Amino acid sequence: MRTSGVASGVSFARAVKIRPLRAQSDVVTLHSTAAEKGRALLGAPEIARMKPGAVLVNVARGSLVDRAALLAALVEKRLGGAALDVFDPEPPDPADPLLKLPNVVATPHLGASTVEAQERVSVQTVEALLEALAGAAYVPAVNLPFRGPKDAEGAAGWMRLAERTAHFLSVLL
């Protein structure tokens, strides 16, 4: 399998062997959900295996990268740089040494702030509203106890329960 020299998150790791790709890549980007139990996807051993001078881009979750290991690799110039849109914790402490390094570009979690992303969210919101007005359940709500579109009916049940509970409480108050 030919690679473009860019490695990204956990799901991509399932498609190819991540170790050789990480060692060959000039740029490694992370686009993954948080790892289990808050474990960093890239700790000191993984960062040490990256190509010398590589750039790490994390636009996923701050907890995916061991901050101390990243700081050490950047200070030692083992890595050429890092672009960070996410931190752990957020917002980062202004005194965080990572933010003071010349080979770090830090942005304030801008992932959804592009014109294209805002347009897409707007269109999806209107489409969901039209579907809801037509009687469909609105399942993209935040923090629902279900695992995505495969369980949309399960989410709808929870939503109906929440609506009935809210109605009941409004009568009592």
Which residues 6+ apart lie within 8 Å of 56 measured at CB? 27, 28, 29, 30, 42, 47, 50, 65, 70, 79, 81, 82, 83
Catalytic residue among 31, 67, 78, 109: 109
At which residue do the structure tokens 């996410």 appear?
Answer: 86
Catalytic residue flag (residue 167): no
DSSP 64-114: GB-HHHHHHHHHTTSSSEEEES--SSSSPPTT-GGGG-TTEEE-SS-TT-S
Q: What six digits make up the tokens of 22?
A: 């990480």
Catalytic residue flag (residue 119): no
Give the angle subtended at the CA of 106 by the CAs of 71 and 62, to the nearest 5°: 65
Catalytic residue among 39, 49, 90, 119: 90
Instruction: Answer for the pair 156, 166: CB distance below 8 angstroms, yes or no.
Output: no
Catalytic residue flag (residue 163): no
Question: Which residues are identified as catalytic?
Answer: 61, 90, 109
